[in-house]
Structure formats: C-alpha cells, structure tokens
C-alpha cells in the first residue's frame, strides 16, 4: 500500500526536496495534502504535478487566489485556508506520514496535532522541540507517534545510533553536531557590526531562506539544534558539543562509552535525510550525487570561537534554566533576525537582544500549547521593546 503524505511547508526548500524524492518513487508514496503560506504559483505547480486531495494556504488571500487558479485549471484539489486547516490535514485519518517543514514557532500547532494523532512525524521544524519541549514529547508519547529527525545533523546522529533507543542513555558519551561555520567563520569579530543582510545571507555552501541564513551566520541555528538534540536523544546538555567542519561531509557524530566514534557521511544534500525519514528503517534512492573519496579535499575541524559566535552559548544557558526558557530564546531570536533583515538593528546586536529578552522573561513551567503560545507572545513583545531601546 502506498504511504500517503501530508507535507507542511511544501513550497520551502525542505518541502521541494521532499517532493523531489517522492516523485522518484510513485509506487511507494502519494501526496494527500500540501500546505504553504503565500506562494500561490509554486503551490499551483505542485498541485498540478502531484494532485493532492487538499492544498492549504495559511494566508486567506493566498487561498482565494489559489482556489481560483485551481478551478481554472480544473484540478481535483480542495483548497483550504488558515492555521486550523493545516493542523487538520496534519492529523487527517488518511495521512500516514507528515513532513513538518514549516519554519518557526508557527509549525508547533500542526506538529502537536500530528503527534497526538499518532502519525509518522518527519521533523524538519526544530522549533517544535525548541518551543514545545516536554509538552511536545508528551504528545508524541501519548499519541503513539513515530518521531524521525530530518535536520541533517540530527538524522546523522539517529543513523549513528542503535535502533534500540532504550540503550542510548548508557551508551552515548557525547553527541557532536557539526557546523559549516557560516560565512563569518574566519572574519574578525571586531568587524561584525558592519555586516549587511546580504553578507549574512551569503552562505558558503547552501542557498537557504533569509532567516535560516542569518541563523547560520550567528550560529543560532546550531544553538537551536543543540536544544533539539537534547530532547530528541535524551542526553544531558553537557554531553552535546558543536564542532566546525567547513566541508560538511560529516553531518554529525556520536562518541560512545568505549571511546569509539560513529559518524554519518554524505554529499551535503537534504534529500538524503528526507529519503531516510520517508523509508526508515529501509533506504531508498534519494537522487543525491555520491561521494567520490578519491577526489575529496581534506576534511578539517575546529572549535567554535565564542567571541565570534556568542549566540551559540545561549543554548546551554537556556537548557539549564526553567522549562520554557528555550521558547523564549526562539521567540527573541525570530524578532531579532527580522529586525536585522529590516535594517532596524545591527548584526552584532542580535545576541544582545536575545540575552536581554532571556533575562527579562521568566517562564513558569508551561504545560499546554496555550501556555507556550502566551509565553512566545510575551517574549516577542519584550524583544520588540528591546529593539526600541537600542
């Protein structure tokens, strides 16, 4: 029987890569639902190719435009609108697996819906764990969902671990997440105040969205990945470290109690972890070029410079703080990055704004989605106030 998929965030880079893998295996997968925010033209092309039962646009105006185009093209697709509809297709009874690729805290609600419905949940939205924390993990456990990491680093760790998760805690000595170091790996920290949005978005290895590109430049993306790894693999924060590996051939490593290290290597291409998540515990063709070890350049490693990347250390600070602090950090960073891209703050002020928000917002152990959303809103408001005072 074909596996029916709901792809949340289908017009983004992860969604597009997922559909590329799906298209290579028409005998294994069919698309039940696609969701996006505002990209009508891209969604229309995807609907024409994959003929989903549902297409959901978060933006109501975009949904109206898509509905008209779908009707004109006579496509057998029902167009829905709004966040509630996205959560509904994530939990739809006919959905076997959900690719959760909505960027930011907006992806938390549909991830929770899929978890509670017991879906095979392919998690590319790190904020579901960063913001959701124990609330999200409880929903996964209560619903009987299968949680599979799609971020390349966490997929690499998952692929390096034994299948029996009950043995992880006693076997793992250390998880090492690799990072490219972004565009400013060798830049003089004293000059970071001069960085422009265009420079921050010029990743040396990947073409990514502007928000994630800035996070890569500050290494806040790696801070969020540290938090995600803590919840995914159940290890103490001090057992997680970050190693800069500019070539990005090793996607992450696990050091075990006997000092041996297992690593997952491959061409830097998100279709590899996507294909693994779709087919686990099997493996299928991803469409990714193979590594040629004979032509490979030397692989190098270095420790992150805390002066150049002060945002990275905020991960361990947040994990040692009361529950909910990671949600505060994520909200503050989303506001800070948006302000930087809009020219309202300098690049080097992102860390200061994140830190100030953490100091001003003290969470009180959020236990529900409503608590988390209220905390997220409070942190965003405080961060906005912080921008006004800079």
Tens digits of residue pLDDT in 275-327: 999 999 999 999 999 999 998 888 999 999 999 999 999 999 999 999 999 99
- Quote the percentage of the chain above a pLDDT of 90: 89
Domains and CATH numbers, the chain: 3-149 (3.40.50.720), 152-268+295-310 (no CATH), 321-390 (1.10.1740.10)
How far, in Å, CA of 299 to CA of 285, rounded? Answer: 26
Least confident among 71-80, 198-207, 256-265, 378-387: 198-207
- Residue 29: how many other CB atoms lie within 10 Å: 23
Residues 160-175: tens digit of each pLDDT:
999 888 889 889 999 9
Q: What b/e sequence results for 243-278 when a residue is b if at least 16 CB atoms lie within 10 Å of its CB, and e otherwise?
A: bbbbebbbbbbbbbeeeeeebbebeebbbbbbbbbb
Parallel, antiparallel or unpaired: strands 250-256 and 172-179: antiparallel
Inter-axis angle of helices 108-116 and 369-389, to 10 degrees? 170
Helices (H) and strands (E) in the chain, counts: 16, 11
The mean-pLDDT minimum among 60-64, 83-87, 271-275, 386-390 falls in: 386-390
**Separation CA 50–CA 44 (nearest Å):** 10
What single string gives the DSSP state of each residue in 260-314? -EEEEE--S-THHHHHHHHHTTS-----PPPP-GGGPPPP--B---TTT-TTTTH
Phi-psi domain of 335 (left: phi exceeds 0; alpha: psi -120 through 50; beta: other): alpha
Structure tokens at 365: 């152990």
Task: Write the DSSP string, 73-136.
Answer: HT---EEEESHHHHHHHHS-TT--EEEE---SGGGHHHHHHHHHTT-EEEE--THHHHHHHHHH
Is pLDDT at 55 greater than 70 in this prediction? yes
Pairing of strands 250-256, 261-265: antiparallel
Residue 207 has pLDDT above 70, yes or no: no
Q: Are 144 and 118 in contact (CB under 8 A)?
A: yes
Taking only the tens place, the pLDDT of each residue in 360-375 is 999 988 999 999 999 9
Tokens representing 75 are 């496509």
Q: What's the pLDDT tens digit per position in 173-191?
A: 999 999 999 999 999 999 9
Residue 54 has phi, psi (to 5 degrees) of -130, 145
| C-alpha to C-alpha distance for 66 and 194, rounded to whole angstroms | 41
């Amino acid at each position: 029987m074909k596996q029916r998929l709901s792809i949340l965030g289908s017009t983004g880079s992860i969604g597009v890569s997922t559909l590329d893998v799906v298209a290579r295996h028409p005998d294994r997968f069919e698309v039940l639902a696609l969701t996006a925010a505002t990209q009508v033209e891209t969604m229309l092309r995807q609907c024409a190719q994959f003929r989903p039962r549902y297409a959901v646009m978060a933006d109501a105006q975009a949904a109206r435009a898509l509905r008209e185009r779908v009707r004109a093209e006579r496509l057998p697709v029902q167009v829905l609108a709004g966040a509630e509809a996205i959560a509904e297709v994530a939990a739809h009874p006919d959905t076997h697996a959900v690719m959760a690729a909505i960027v930011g805290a907006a992806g938390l609600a549909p991830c929770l819906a899929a978890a509670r419905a017991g879906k095979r949940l392919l998690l590319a939205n790190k904020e579901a764990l960063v913001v959701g924390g124990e609330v999200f993990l409880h929903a996964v456990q209560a619903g009987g969902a299968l949680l599979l990491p799609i971020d390349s680093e966490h997929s690499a760790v998952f692929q390096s671990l034994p299948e029996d998760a009950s043995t992880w805690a006693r076997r793992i000595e250390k998880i090492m997440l690799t990072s490219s170091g972004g565009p400013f790996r060798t830049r003089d920290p004293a000059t970071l105040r001069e960085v422009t949005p265009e420079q921050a978005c010029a990743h040396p290895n990947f073409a990514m969205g502007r928000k994630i590109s800035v996070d890569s430049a500050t290494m806040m993306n790696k801070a969020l990945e540290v938090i995600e790894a803590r919840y995914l693999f159940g290890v103490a924060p001090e057992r997680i470290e970050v190693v800069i590996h500019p070539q990005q051939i090793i996607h992450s490593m696990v050091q075990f109690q006997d000092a041996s290290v297992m690593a997952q290597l491959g061409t830097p291409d998100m279709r590899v972890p996507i294909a693994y998540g779709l087919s686990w515990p099997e493996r299928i063709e991803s469409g990714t070029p193979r590594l040629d070890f004979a032509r490979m350049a030397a692989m190098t490693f270095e420790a992150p410079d805390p002066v150049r990347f002060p945002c990275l250390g905020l991960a361990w600070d947040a994990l040692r703080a009361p529950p909910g602090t990671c949600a505060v950090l994520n909200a503050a960073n989303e506001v800070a990055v948006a302000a930087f891209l809009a020219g309202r703050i300098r690049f080097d002020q992102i860390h200061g704004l994140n830190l100030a928000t953490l100091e001003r917002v003290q969470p009180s152990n959020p236990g529900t989605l409503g608590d988390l959303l209220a905390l997220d809103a409070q942190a965003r408001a405080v961060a906005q106030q912080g921008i006004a005072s800079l």
